[in-house]
Amino acid sequence: MSLDQKNAEAATLGRLNAQLDQSLGSFLATIRRERGITRMLVLLLLSFGLFALLKPAVFLNPLNLENIAIASPEIGILAVAMMLAMVTGGIDLSIVAIANFAAVTITTVYSGIAAQDPGQAAALMPLIVLLGLVTAAVAGLFNGFLIGVVGITPILATLGTMQILNGIAVVWTNGQTLYGAPEALTAFAKTTVVGIPALFLFFLLIAVAIAILMNRTSLGLKLQLQGANALAAKYSGISSRRVLMSTYLVSGLLGGLAGVVFIARNPTASADYGSSYVLLVIVIAVLGGTNPSGGFATVAGVVMATLTLQIVSSGFNALRLSPYEYSIAQGVILIAVMVFDQLRFRRSKPPKSRADTAPVTP
């Protein structure tokens, strides 16, 4: 009798314990997320306020604000793709090369058909864009294969695919800029819905879709767990192979969408477009609260980080500072945010041993 009682007690205690663990875990996760979001919101408002105060005439001009909204999507979509790779504890250096590859594919095929029959090219436009997206998805899948199946470190695998895709695109275009993007895309980039550029709405739509993928689907949960603790993920029966393949497939697809935005906004394609974006995109992902060693990220944080950096860039422009000074600012912001995070993280934890080592992840 008393034994049963004890057992029951232990069971309840165990259940309570598990419940407590779980709620504590989700609470911690929320704090982590909220911290990223609040910090980003403060930074966003601060940078906006700063430049609005310093150069109100130039900065608050509706044209300037519209420019910010039109320039954000291409970087933002790439940053979301980078975030996905980072959540699994990886990185995707090939993302800009994938975007350019898709853009070059679309432009070449479209102008090839348009040279013979413009009407047909316009009619086939959706199919051609789809072809570009499929190429990007295949490139992403190849990354996933190298990382998930062969077992190459993400940084090296995507470094290799970056070189390969970039090289093929250079050969294909003879290193020149291609003209002749589909007119329908260019027209789409010029439309506005109640004053908001359609491209920006497109970006928000993608962000929402990825947010749903991350937070409401089992794949999202799996990829977060994969990044938080690969070993635990493995023992809970998650196939890291499949998770990594799907993650890089999605990030490749996002790269393709960014490529579509490239040519919509600026109807040219080249192998070297946006080569400085790789750094920028990593900065945005980390700034948006993505943990570079995996496990934590929020799409909202990344979207706000995109806007913040776009505002800083546009503000630097308004203040007539050079792009090189903007590149200094990027580096300083990146390191400052990481140092700040590290200090806060340390302070919030009692120093168990001075010798705690963060893995020096490449």
Residues that bind another protein (CB under 8 A): 91, 93, 146, 150-153, 155-157, 159-164, 166-168, 170-171, 174-175, 275, 279, 282-283, 286, 292-293, 322, 324-328, 330-332, 334-335, 338-339, 342-343, 355, 357-362
For another protein, give the closer residue by CB, 231 or 358: 358
For another protein, give the closer residue by CB, 93 or 225: 93
For another protein, give the closer residue by CB, 196 or 335: 335
Q: Sign of the C-alpha dihedral, residues 245, 303, 287, 238?
A: negative
Q: How far apart are CA 289 and CA 300, in angstroms?
A: 9
Tokens representing 11 are 């069971």
For another protein, give the closer residue by CB, 189 or 244: 244
Q: How far apart are CA 143 and CA 88, in angstroms?
A: 13
Smallest separation, CB 24 to another protein (Å): 25
DSSP string, 148-193: III---HHHHHHHHHHHHHHHHHHHHTTPPEE---HHHHHHHH-EE
For another protein, give the closer residue by CB, 57 or 358: 358
* Other Cβ atoms closer than 10 A to 152: 16
For residue 197, the cross-strand partners are 192
Smallest separation, CB 117 to another protein (Å): 31
Q: How far apart are CA 92 and CA 17, in angstroms?
A: 39
Q: How far apart are CA 324 and CA 166, in angstroms?
A: 25
Which amino acid belongs to residue 258? A
Smallest separation, CB 53 to another protein (Å): 24
For another protein, give the closer residue by CB, 66 or 272: 272
For another protein, give the closer residue by CB, 178 or 260: 178
* Other Cβ atoms closer than 10 A to 297: 28
Report yes or no: 52 and 59 within 8 Å, Cβ to Cβ.
Answer: yes
Smallest separation, CB 315 to another protein (Å): 16
For another protein, give the closer residue by CB, 126 or 175: 175
The C-alpha angle 170, 100, 129, rounded to 5 degrees, equals 120
Smallest separation, CB 208 to another protein (Å): 27
* Alpha carbons within 13 A on the beta-carbon side of 160: 11
Smallest separation, CB 249 to another protein (Å): 18
Smallest separation, CB 36 to another protein (Å): 16
Q: Sign of the C-alpha dihedral, residues 246, 248, 251, 253?
A: negative
Smallest separation, CB 255 to another protein (Å): 16
Instruction: Report the chain's C-alpha Rg in angstroms.
Output: 23
For another protein, give the closer residue by CB, 5 or 348: 348
Smallest separation, CB 174 to another protein (Å): 8
